[in-house]
Amino acid sequence: MNVGIIGSGTMGSGIAQVAATAGCSVKLYDTNIDALHKAENTLDKILSRLIEKGRIDSAEKSRIQSNIDYVNSLHELGNSNLTIEAIVEDLDIKKKVFEHLETYVSEDCIIASNTSSLSIASIASALKKPERCIGIHFFNPAPLMKLVEVVPAIQTSEEVLSKSVDVITNWKKTVAVAKDTPGFIVNRVARPFYGEALRIYEEGIADFATIDWSLKTIGGFRMGPFELMDFIGNDVNYAVTESVFTAFYFDSRYKPSFTQKRLAEAGYLGRKSGKGYYDYSEGTAKPNP
Ligand code: NAI
């Protein structure tokens, strides 16, 4: 199966790894050459670590790597049977990319988005054949997280839904089919988790590290809300919150936080930029005052 991935950032590179591991021939596309190089180098490191841990051998590493082509023009995705878009969480930009993509791929290519929060119906409306559009929403890190939400829009055909579920199941993931509503299942439940933690911090009740410590030690969560926002990326997490807030007609339950907005504006994106709620510059995380 030929799979085209659009966007080679955190999610696109992880999804490419999943598809390549499952034996698909993957074209990973990004407008930014540096992002493509970074994706290639990161995959090399991840696979080398898996060899060190004895999970794969060097033949498997070469097989996975040889299944991925890193490409810098969209038309190279022309022979795809399935494309999954994982670019910036911006409806207008996604719609433009989908419009272009449709001119290159065949009639029966499934065109999917990994959006966390945007309306699949709205993204699909950019296509001449909206019935081929669907949400296929992986979680971060895509190679490790089992769950994938598959989200049909009202325009999506039954055939595209069932083919998508089959592909993702073959990629050894667990599928939850969710309705096309803001944040689907997991990101909707997660909004109050981040939002309330930010409110607790903004009200001066506790600092980031204490809130994270409490949730992990007492709540049993693997990561605290601030660690998790830094892991996801504050730009991405803020954009998702803003999108869910707007889509739910400004329901205060989903209100975004100025603390996070300022971090995103300053480029304090979290782990990927070396600084967020925590400072990662010395290899270990310290609360960033
Ligand atoms: P990212 O910022 O790590 O990567 C985005 C990539 O898209 C960048 O490499 C950028 O150069 C590229 N890009 C931007 N515009 C482009 C265009 N017009 N054409 C081609 N490439 C373009 O973002 P991330 O975190 O991978 O998120 C991507 C999507 O996945 C978003 O829709 C986000 O909501 C969703 N998502 C993110 C998760 C996360 O934890 N970060 C989890 C699940 C979904």
186-281 CATH: 1.10.1040.50
Residue 144 C-alpha from the chain's centroid: 13
Q: pLDDT tens digits for the chain (289 residues)?
A: 999 999 999 999 999 999 999 999 999 999 999 999 999 999 999 999 999 999 999 999 999 999 999 999 999 999 999 999 999 989 999 999 999 999 999 999 999 999 988 999 999 999 999 999 999 999 999 999 999 999 999 999 999 999 999 999 999 999 999 999 999 999 999 999 999 999 999 999 999 999 999 999 999 999 999 999 999 999 999 999 999 999 999 999 999 999 999 999 999 999 999 999 999 988 778 877 6
Q: What backbone torsions phi and psi does residue 82 show, to the nearest 5 degrees? A: -145, 135
What 70-74 contacts at long range (C-beta under 8 Å, 24+ apart), as own/partner pairs, is 70/8, 70/28, 70/30, 70/36, 70/37, 70/39, 70/40, 71/27, 71/28, 71/29, 71/36, 72/29, 72/30, 72/31, 72/33, 72/36, 73/29, 74/6, 74/29, 74/100, 74/101, 74/104
**How many other C-beta atoms lie within 10 A of the C-beta of residue 266?**
12
Sketch the domain layout of the chain as residue ranges.
2-177, 186-281
Handedness of CA 263, 269, 275, 278 (dihedral sign): positive
Residues in the chain: 289
How many A from CA of 90 to the centre of ligand 1? 10
Catalytic residue among 114, 164, 187, 243: 187
CATH 3.40.50.720 fits 2-177, yes or no: yes
- Same CATH fold assignment for domains 2-177 and 186-281: no
- pTM greater than 0.80: yes
- The closest-lying atom of ligand 1 relative to the alpha carbon of residue 233 is 41
Q: In testing the pocket of ligand 1, which one of 13, 30, 186 has its CB within 8 Å of the most ligand atoms?
A: 30
The answer to whether 47 and 56 have CB atoms below 8 angstroms apart is: yes
Across 164-229, the runs of DSSP E, i.e. the strands, are: 174-177
116 tagged catalytic: yes
How many A from CA of 235 to the centre of ligand 1? 10
